[in-house]
């Protein structure tokens, strides 16, 4: 019989003293440093919270008073609407650009590349002001005065969408490139048409790489829409600004807007988790 089996030490003298032939118990290492760091951080956090809550200058009462007022809720509604419209249109245009960018036609590839290059290079603020003043370049379009055609909200949608599409194009292109080339060959060998290959085989698999950065973009867009306040679109930020220009309660009203942004962002984060889970089906992690 071999003497080097796992459960019986080969040489009895090698067993730890006092173990009495029983299996020795494993004792984890003590980590006093961890405990000290945790306590320190908790104390600092508690001090920060207390100072915020007890400092009367934050005017939490005013925050509560305005949190659910009609003006604020209308602003929130416009921010959510703008975010949704810009995301949907931006990703629709972005997907089209990504497909053009990957097409066999060098002219289409070049145009898509040029679009992304241009709109990623221009600051969104500059773009919004540019579209806002487009009437100076084209005073009349199709017999209608441009300023009548393009109100502030329309300008906001156009500017943000063009900007968003440039980034969405890169996100979608990255997602498409992440799909194994063999998937496309398998689809071709089965006789699936180009549109079907894209919609049924490639895009659903690309979504796994698209959703996380798209979630980032969604949250970025939600907060980024606040930039439309410069062209007097009454979004969440501009609505509270209108109030504090009247009442001078700047800090509490900015807190109202901030808390709403945090609430919506948190809800979107939960939603992203479920969307990611949906597109992970069929992968090892989702058995």
Partner 1 sequence: MSAMVEVRSVHKSFGPLGVLKGVDLQVRTGEVAVVLGPSGSGKSTLLRTINHLEKVDSGWISVNGALIGYRRSGDRLHELRERDILKQRTRIGFVFQNFHLFPHLTVLENITEAPVSALRRPKAEAVRTAERLLDRVGLADRAGAYPKQLSGGQQQRVAIARALALEPELLLFDEPTSALDPELVGEVLDVIRDVADQGTTMIVVTHEIGFAREVADTVVFMDGGRIVEQGPPGEVLDRPRHERTRAFLAKVL
CA dihedral 6, 9, 14, 20 (to 10 degrees): 120
Question: CB–CB of 169/112 below 8 Å?
Answer: yes
Report the 10 Å Cβ neighbour count for 210: 25
**Which region among 26-34, 109-117, 134-142, 197-205 touches partner 1 (by CB under 8 A)?**
197-205
Query: In the structure encoding, which two tokens stand for residue 108, read together?
Result: 């289409």
Residue (74 or 197) nearer to partner 1, CB: 197
Query: In the structure encoding, which two tokens stand for residue 128, read together?
Result: 């919004």
If binding means CB under 8 A, how many residues of this protein chain bind partner 1? 24
d(CA 150, CA 138): 12
**Which region among 86-94, 145-153, 190-198, 254-262 touches partner 1 (by CB under 8 A)?**
190-198
Residue (33 or 182) nearer to partner 1, CB: 182
Output the CA angle 105-106-109, nearest 5 degrees: 90
Among 247, 256, 251, 241, residue whose Cα is nearest residue 58: 251
Output the CA angle 157-162-167, nearest 5 degrees: 125
**Which region among 49-57, 121-129, 186-194, 264-272 touches partner 1 (by CB under 8 A)?**
186-194
Minimum Å gap between C-beta 161 and partner 1 is 29
Residue (163 or 208) nearer to partner 1, CB: 208
Among 219, 211, 222, residue whose Cα is nearest residue 171: 211
Query: Mask: binding to partner 1, 245-284, rule CB under 8 A, as x and -?
Result: ----------------------------------x-xxxx
Minimum Å gap between C-beta 102 and partner 1 is 16
Contact call for residue 182 and partner 1 (CB under 8 A)? yes
d(CA 170, CA 160): 16
Residue (141 or 186) nearer to partner 1, CB: 186
Query: Mask: binding to partner 1, 201-240, rule CB under 8 A, as x and -?
Result: x--xx-----------------------------------
Contact call for residue 193 and partner 1 (CB under 8 A)? yes
Helix axes 124-132, 152-177, angle to 10 degrees: 140
Interface positions with partner 1 (CB under 8 A): 180, 182-183, 185-194, 196, 200-201, 204-205, 279, 281-284, 287
């Amino acid at each position: 019989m071999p003497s080097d089996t796992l459960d019986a030490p080969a040489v009895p003298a090698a067993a730890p003293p006092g173990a009495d032939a029983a299996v020795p118990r494993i004792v984890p290492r003590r980590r006093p440093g961890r405990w000290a760091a945790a306590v320190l951080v908790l104390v600092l956090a508690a001090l920060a919270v207390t100072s915020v809550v007890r400092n009367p200058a934050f005017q939490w009462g005013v925050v509560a008073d305005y949190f659910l007022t009609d003006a604020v809720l209308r602003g929130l509604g416009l921010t959510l609407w703008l975010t949704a419209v810009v995301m949907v249109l931006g990703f629709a245009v972005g997907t089209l650009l990504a497909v053009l960018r990957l097409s066999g036609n060098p002219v289409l590839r070049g145009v898509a590349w040029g679009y992304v290059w241009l709109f990623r290079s221009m600051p969104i603020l500059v773009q919004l002001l540019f579209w806002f003043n487009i009437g100076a370049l084209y005073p009349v379009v199709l017999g209608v005065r441009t300023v009548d055609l393009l109100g502030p909200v329309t300008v906001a949608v156009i500017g943000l969408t063009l900007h968003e599409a440039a980034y969405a194009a890169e996100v979608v292109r990255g997602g498409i490139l992440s799909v194994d080339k063999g998937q496309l060959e398998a689809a071709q060998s089965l006789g699936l048409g180009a549109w079907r290959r894209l919609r049924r085989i490639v895009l659903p698999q690309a979504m796994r790489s698209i959703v996380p950065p798209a979630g980032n973009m969604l949250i970025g867009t939600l907060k980024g829409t606040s930039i439309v306040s410069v062209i007097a679109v009454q979004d969440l930020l501009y609505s509270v600004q209108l109030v504090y220009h009247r009442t001078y309660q700047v800090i509490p009203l900015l807190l109202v807007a901030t808390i709403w942004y945090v609430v919506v962002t948190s809800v979107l984060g939960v939603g992203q988790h479920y969307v990611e889970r949906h597109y992970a089906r069929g992968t090892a992690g989702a058995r």
